[in-house]
């Protein structure tokens, strides 16, 4: 059957896929290197912004899933506005959005099935006992690509934000993209707007590249985190621009006693060339859900504007776990409340069953080559009494202050470490090392940094 082109006429009632193997590009010009290819309209898709395409996405992906072990398949979303509820991905699969394609998240709750609670959270984040599926959901997959020539996914999140604020949700809001228990995931060259809650949430997964995303939500929208690596190993986030109502990137690994029990850390994570705007949240948060541990995170070439803080560690009693071997360099921060922030009394537990004796370990936190302007507080570093945050190293950091800076620039409690070439001068708990000294940054690269993108070509 190689080379056979099966063209369905518009009046065809049977759904099928075109096999474009060796035939070249699909009608809208994309070729993503998979053996099999289909266009959403082959499965009844209507791109008028009003007709639901939930069934069309399901029919298309169910059909294409049969090719997982035969060269894989790509689904092309052509120009148009494609309204849909939640749909599920398959393995060895590329979802490609044309530059003028917009996937619109349905605002009808019946289009969103409930999915299992996350074992490392125990409870739903918005409503304890239930969770809506994400708009694009995948579990137990291998080799999944979500990409486009900067096509758009619009979560149409406003009604969800309203219901959340009014306490009217019976289930935790959907995320935009959630991938669980999967390996080899690439999400790149897309614009994502107005997610109901978090945008990109890979969890219990490995070998992930997130690149070239423009992520935008109103800075007042609730919990619209940009990218949340959660209990993931070997992950790269690069060249992303994020404006949102919550942390631009939030590194996580489960919540309280549930995260401790599952014990799946996030480790071997690279975040680079990120631009962030988030007036009430962090550029990069480590936590607050960090109970499975966070280790070996390399952060570089970060720009943040009008953001509450640079990197923020968020933890507290009952969280357990650890945050260690964190390396950051070359951060440019403009208009910040706190250039450096560590919070050891972050509240919010999944339920009263948490163990207040479960103390987090914070160790070997290294920041260097930081320029911050128009800053209100240089640092607020709150460790936990009896659980000192240690191994903190900050070198070559130049902070200039707002016109009306606070008097206590470095407010430090229960922390231990060193500084070098830092202005304004740090607190006594972070004494200055004599002589030239740079905080460490690993030289060897992580395996994910040499994985090629599974790019599409388009004309
Ligand atoms: C997607 O898969 C999950 C887990 O298997 C399932 O619970 C959910 O209903 C599926 N969603 C759709 C839209 O079929
Ligand atoms: C998915 O993978 C997880 C972890 O390996 C496993 O516990 C779960 O049963 C798998 N689910 C399915 C539907 O295969
Ligand atoms: C993608 O689209 C967004 C929104 O229109 C735009 O801001 C961004 O510059 C585009 N990215 C590229 C690489 O063209
Ligand atoms: C939430 O649950 C309550 C009680 O089970 C029900 O009356 C209400 O209609 C539900 N609301 C939504 C938005 O589903
Ligand atoms: C200090 O950091 C700035 C900003 O990243 C950089 O341009 C400069 O070269 C660094 N200085 C040293 C001595 O490393
Ligand atoms: C400096 O920061 C303040 C908030 O602290 C803000 O109102 C002001 O616009 C900023 N100035 C500049 C030049 O960005
Ligand atoms: C310094 O931090 C402590 C918490 O550790 C806080 O209670 C106090 O108000 C802060 N002081 C100033 C002047 O901001
Ligand atoms: C992604 O977009 C960038 C910027 O437009 C472009 O240079 C690059 O070739 C695209 N990458 C792929 C793999 O499509």
Average pLDDT for 221-246 = 98
Q: Which atom of ligand 6 is nearest to the CA of 376?
A: 5
Specify the 3-state DSSP secondary structure of 388.
coil
The bound ligand whose nearest atom lies closest to the alpha carbon of 87 is 1
State the average pLDDT for the chain: 93
Cβ 191 under 6 angstroms from ligand 3: yes
Q: Whole-model pTM above 0.85?
A: yes
Which is the catalytic residue, given 225, 246, 363, 382?
A: 246
Nearest-CA residue for ligand 6 atom 4 is 335
Both tokens assigned to 240: 């992303």
Nearest-CA residue for ligand 1 atom 9 is 113
pLDDT in tens, 161-187: 999 999 999 999 999 999 999 999 999
Listed by start position, the domains of the chain span 78-446
pLDDT in tens, 61-72: 999 999 999 999
- Check pLDDT > 70 for residue 13: no
Give the pLDDT band of residue 1 (cuts 50, 70, 90): very low
Cα 216 vs. chain centroid, distance in angstroms? 13
Cβ 300 under 6 angstroms from ligand 5: no
pLDDT of residue 405: 85
pLDDT in tens, 39-63: 999 999 999 999 999 999 999 999 9
CA angle 164, 168, 173 (to 5 degrees): 45
78-446: what fold?
Pectate Lyase C-like (2.160.20)
Cβ 99 under 6 angstroms from ligand 3: no
pLDDT in tens, 249-307: 999 999 999 999 999 999 999 999 999 999 999 999 999 999 999 999 999 999 999 99
Question: β-pairing, 114-115 with 136-139?
Answer: unpaired
Q: What percent of the chain has pLDDT over 90?
A: 91
Known active-site residue 325:
no
H or E stretch at 267: strand 266-277
The region that residue 60 occupies, defined by phi over 0 for left and psi between -120 and 50 for alpha, beta otherwise, is: alpha
For residue 252, list its beta bridge partners: 230
Cβ 116 under 6 angstroms from ligand 2: no
């Amino acid at each position: 059957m190689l080379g056979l082109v099966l063209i369905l006429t518009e009046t065809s009632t049977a759904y099928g896929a075109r096999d474009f193997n060796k035939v070249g590009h699909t009608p809208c010009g994309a070729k993503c290197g998979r053996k099999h290819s289909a266009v959403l309209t082959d499965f009844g898709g209507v791109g008028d912004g009003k007709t639901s395409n939930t069934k069309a996405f399901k029919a298309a992906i169910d059909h294409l899933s049969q090719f997982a072990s035969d060269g894989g398949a790509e689904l092309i979303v052509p120009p148009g506005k494609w309204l849909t509820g939640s749909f599920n991905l398959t393995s060895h699969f590329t979802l490609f959005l044309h530059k003028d394609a917009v996937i619109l998240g349905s605002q009808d709750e019946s289009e969103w099935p409930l999915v299992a609670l996350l074992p490392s959270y125990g409870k739903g984040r918005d409503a304890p006992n239930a969770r809506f599926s994400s708009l694009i959901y995948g579990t137990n997959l291998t080799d999944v690509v979500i990409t486009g020539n900067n096509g758009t996914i619009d979560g149409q999140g406003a009604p969800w934000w309203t219901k959340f604020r009014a306490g009217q949700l019976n289930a935790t809001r959907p995320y935009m993209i959630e991938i669980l228990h999967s390996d080899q995931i690439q999400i790149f060259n897309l614009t994502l707007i107005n997610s109901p809650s978090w945008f990109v949430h890979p969890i219990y997964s490995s070998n992930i590249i997130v690149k070239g995303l423009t992520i935008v939500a109103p800075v007042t929208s609730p919990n619209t985190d940009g990218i949340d690596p959660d209990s993931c190993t070997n992950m790269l986030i690069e060249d992303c621009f994020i404006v949102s109502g919550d942390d631009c990137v939030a590194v996580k690994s489960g919540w309280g006693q549930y995260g401790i029990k599952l014990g799946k850390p996030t480790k071997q994570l690279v975040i680079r060339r990120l631009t962030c705007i988030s007036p009430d949240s962090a550029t990069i948060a480590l936590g607050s859900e960090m109970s499975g541990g966070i280790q070996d995170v390399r952060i570089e070439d970060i720009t943040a504007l009008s953001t509450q803080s640079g990197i923020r560690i968020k933890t507290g009693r009952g969280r357990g776990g650890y945050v260690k071997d964190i390396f950051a360099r070359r951060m440019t921060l403009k208009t910040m409340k706190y250039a450096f922030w560590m919070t050891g009394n972050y509240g919010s537990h999944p339920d009263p069953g948490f163990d207040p004796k479960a103390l987090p370990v914070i160790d070997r936190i290294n920041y260097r080559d930081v320029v911050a302007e128009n800053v209100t507080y240089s640092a607020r570093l709150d460790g936990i009494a009896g659980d000192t945050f240690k191994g903190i190293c900050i070198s070559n950091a130049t902070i200039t202050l707002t016109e009306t800076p606070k008097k206590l620039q470095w407010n430090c409690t229960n922390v231990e470490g060193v500084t070098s070439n830092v202005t304004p001068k740090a607190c006594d708990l972070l004494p200055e090392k004599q002589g030239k000294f740079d905080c460490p940054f690993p030289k060897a690269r992580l395996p994910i940094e040499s994985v090629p993108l599974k790019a599409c070509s388009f004309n």
